[in-house]
Structure 1
């Protein structure tokens, strides 16, 4: 089973008050399909709605391989009390010389509006700046996605640019808004305490 990969081949676990950002388990596939099979979750994504469990299994396999290759930190966002996956977040597009990477995220719709996305991303961003030594983190979103824009701005991102008709999203032309967060912006915010960092373990320990 790929769940038994050695810890040094998996990203470290990040823990917050309510969440664990952990490596994916094979058992997460059904919850992943539920997230990316929801048209509302992927409403502003250039990819289509998932329809097959094989797509979730492919994401899990890709996350493991890409971490080993050094190109992607993709985490399962899980509730600490149940270990159920409720979302994903990732750092990708690493430019080592410039200490820069890109942020991505998605959350199950039945967990929107509870502060989970902000809690998870605050942990991931703190890890990126202070443990991975990133200087700049970027994100691009569909400007119609007002909730995502509010989330990024709450975390300290600043809107830096706009590109019209950059994507075709579900058959329609869609614009992109670019956001950036510098480490000095992050440090100036006086963010909350860093998350606890633990070696990865599967299944999640209490």
Structure 2
């Protein structure tokens, strides 16, 4: 039996309380933290434990998800993927993905995104996915282009980072575009 949440390299799973130390380690890389959202002050080990416990206990529902990305073979946590801005009325959603520095450039993010989009498009009946990427994050820009996302626009000077303004690039993919390129499962 195979799981819709498992690919060749990764398995998406719920966040567990024991994941706290890996998430705290990821938070210590300022560049990765800023590429995902913004730089935040360090948090204590106790706060990291509390956050992981809260995530593990949270009832996610079917559409608003925060999942751990684990290496398929070892089970080691390598990152996280989440949906947000879920709009069932219009059939749209957004997502974010983060993979720890030591695990990047191995195809984990790409596979996690494909697994998540297959679920949202093929099971939940959403028709469009939007994603924003900081213009300075060249790796993520290239990843989304490879996955078949279309650049739909740009918010000029949409974020402030390290003493300068950076653009936010807007990408989108429809269910038809995704299904043609990746299939729905």
Pick the TM interval, shorter chain. 0.7 to 0.9
1:132–1:185 CA distance, 2 compared to 1 (3 A):
same
- Structure-2 separation of matches of 1:113 and 1:39: 18
What is the RMSD of the two structures over their aligned residues, measured on CA atoms? Answer: 2.3
1:79 to 71, 76, 90: 71
Tell me the alpha carbon deviations over residues 73-130 of structure 1, each in whole angstroms, 9 at most, x when there is no partner.
Answer: 1110011222211100111111011110001000011111111111111111111110
Greater relative contact order, per chain length (Cα 8 Å cut-off, separation 6+)? 1
Per the TM alignment, residue 167 of structure 1 is displaced from its structure 2 partner at its CA by 1.9
1:67 to 54, 57, 60: 60
2:51 to 36, 47, 58: 58
- Structure-2 separation of matches of 1:142 and 1:159: 12
- Structure-1 separation of matches of 2:28 and 2:41: 4
Tell me the TM-score normalised to structure 2 length. Answer: 0.87
- Structure-2 separation of matches of 1:181 and 1:57: 35
Partners of 2:132 and 2:171 within 8 A in 1: yes
Secondary structure of the structure 2 residue equivalent to 1:133: coil
Per the TM alignment, residue 45 of structure 1 is displaced from its structure 2 partner at its CA by 4.1
Unmatched 5+ stretches in structure 1 = 1-11, 195-206
1:29 counterpart residue number: 20
- Structure-2 separation of matches of 1:129 and 1:164: 30
Tell me the alpha carbon deviations over residues 5-64 of structure 1, each in whole angstroms, 9 at most, x when there is no partner.
Answer: xxxxxxx97111221100000000100111122123123344224522314642652575
Tell me the TM-score normalised to structure 1 length. Answer: 0.79
- Structure-1 separation of matches of 2:153 and 2:103: 30
1:121 counterpart residue number: 113
- Structure-1 separation of matches of 2:4 and 2:83: 14
Pair 1:156 & 2:162 matched: no
1:174–1:57 CA distance, 2 compared to 1 (3 A):
farther
